[in-house]
Chains A and B, each alone.
Chain A
Amino acid sequence: MNPTQVAIALWTVVYKEVKRFTRIWPQTLLPPSITMTMYFIIFGSLIGSRIGEMDGFSYMDFIVPGLIMMAVITNSYSNVASSFFSNKFQRSVEEMMVSPMPNWVILAGFVLGGMARGLGVGLIVTIVSLFFTRLSVAHPLLTVGVVVLTAALFSIGGFINALLADKFDDVSIVPTFVLTPLTYLGGVFYSISLLPPFWQGASLLNPILYMVNVFRHGFLGVSDIPVGWALAAIVAFIVVLFGIALWMLEQGKGIRS
């Protein structure tokens, strides 16, 4: 395929993915918005007012970046995992496999689709948060950069999950038993400085902690961990996981007999 044809093929996959999650917006865009609004009301306004300050900021201001990031992570991941698995299940993935479209275009198309949903939901949550607090952004470029990279990373993760999944249950195992605990323990609701030294060290093994902290640094200018290292780690994860996903696709894992 020449570059123009590749661009058309990539756009086709992305367009189809975006159209899919916007067509079923009551399932994809509305629920996370309502859930996050509940978090803002309960943890931010009601309980947060009794907690006081966290790292020198009101509790509401402290949790807003974490909640936005949580929405981006879960939605990027689940969008690609469920969409690609549905394509496998309905065998419509064969439409792409019989075409001359390179595998990296298929992968990139689904990842961009997942990022679009993750970032879209992130934007909705950000807008909702404006009803509860005055949001200020200390480092706009860093804020945007890290949320885009995080959406990309978890979209790739969702793709690998879908490739390996044999049934719908397999698509929900990782979000339920891995992503949700890591997100909750990743400093969304608290600063790790509150933890005993052992658990502080253990928390540093959680990759989501780095993403949440860099994102919070973008908003508030404070972070529990070095920002440069965190960014480098996210980029490294993206490169490695993209390579693994592409290799699996080339090998036909889960899609070719």
Chain B
Amino acid sequence: MAEPALSIRGLTKVYGNGFHALKGIDLDVEQGDFFALLGPNGAGKSTTLGVVCSLVQKTAGAVSIFGIDIDRDFARAKYHLGVVPQEFNFNQFEKVIDIVLAQAGYYGMPRREALPRAETLLKDLGLWDKRNGSARMLSGGMKRRLMIARALMHRPKLLILDEPTAGVDIELRRSMWEYMRRINRDEGTTIILTTHYLEEAESLCRNVAIINHGEIVRNTSVRGLLAELDTETFLLDLAHPVEDAPAIEGFEVRQVDSAQLAVVVHRGQRLNDVFTALGERGIEVVSMRNRANRLEEMFVSMVEEGNRANPVKKAEVSQ
């Protein structure tokens, strides 16, 4: 069996002020996976990724990238790694082309190889026309794409994306998703993604780990996680306004406004029963959608559960 793209064992991080950011986490990401690492702010996502990319020094534990232990040969492991951090971390006064070419240089890539690679990536990400402009002149979305182009210059086998679409408009976000899907599917690049847009994780990722208070609280497939969902709320748009929410036996029905109802459906219940009951009352439904992202519902309930079991200490709040 192939080595995991990323293997983490007993990873612990205690910051200088005594804050336990990671409490001995274990995590495996298989080669070719599109993996989501989710968690609320301060849960330990960025610390985990920071250790993997050498920006944070671990306190204990082991990390291997494609079977290469970072404590033994970090330089070799880094060849396989591309990193797109959460915050812009390039020199804003440099030209776009210089930023990506310099990154290739740091990996020892000759210029004759780096130039065509830069051209391909900047064209793919819609930045070629901006190549001779200063990076500070780019929009927020363009800056994010610049960091993706930079991370891919040396053809990494494992790409880490720390909230890559934060602050990016919907249209651009969709095109970035498509690009990430393409490199995962066509080039076999393993992708680890952290995001606050849970719709993004649900749409892109096959497997997911949820981290909270420095511990992995769930590590499973996205499909498996969604299958655990107990309830779903559907919004029904009505053809004609109603005075009150109709009572339907076994279902919780609320009126959102005169022409919209919210219906909570538990696992095992049939949505057909709702439509039948509404039909009997002469209520006509013209369209229907989920009230919220399904993964988001599950994520919120898990985090709330974790917070109840592990109340935040005052010292941790100051993080």
* Residues of A bordering B, CB below 8 Å: 1-2, 4-6, 8-9, 11-13, 15-16, 19, 23, 86-87, 90-92, 94-102, 252, 256-257
Contacts and interface: CB of A to CB of B under 8 A. Distances in A.
16 contacts: A5-B109, A9-B107, A13-B105, A90-B92, A91-B88, A92-B89, A95-B89, A98-B55, A98-B78, A98-B81, A98-B83, A99-B103, A99-B107, A100-B106, A100-B108, A256-B54
B76 interface: yes
B108 A9 contact: yes
Interface in B21-67: 50, 53-57
Contact of A252 (B57, B91, B103): B57
Interface string B70-99: 000011101101010101111111000010
Nearest to A7: B108
Contacts of B57: 252, 256-257
A23 B94 CA distance: 10
A96 B88 CA distance: 14
Contacts of A6: 108
Contacts of A8: 105, 108-110
Given A94-B85, A98-B78, A257 B56 contact: yes
A256 B15 CA distance: 11
Nearest to B150: A95
Is chain A's interface secondary structure helix, strand, loop, or mixed overall? helix
Given A2-B108, A12-B106, A95 B75 contact: no
A12 B111 CA distance: 10
A161 B105 CA distance: 26
A2 to B, nearest CB: 7
B102 interface: yes
Contacts of B56: 256-257
B105 A100 contact: no
B87 A91 contact: yes
B91 A90 contact: yes
A85 B178 CA distance: 37
Contacts of B79: 100
Contacts of B105: 8-9, 11-13, 15
A97 B108 contact: no
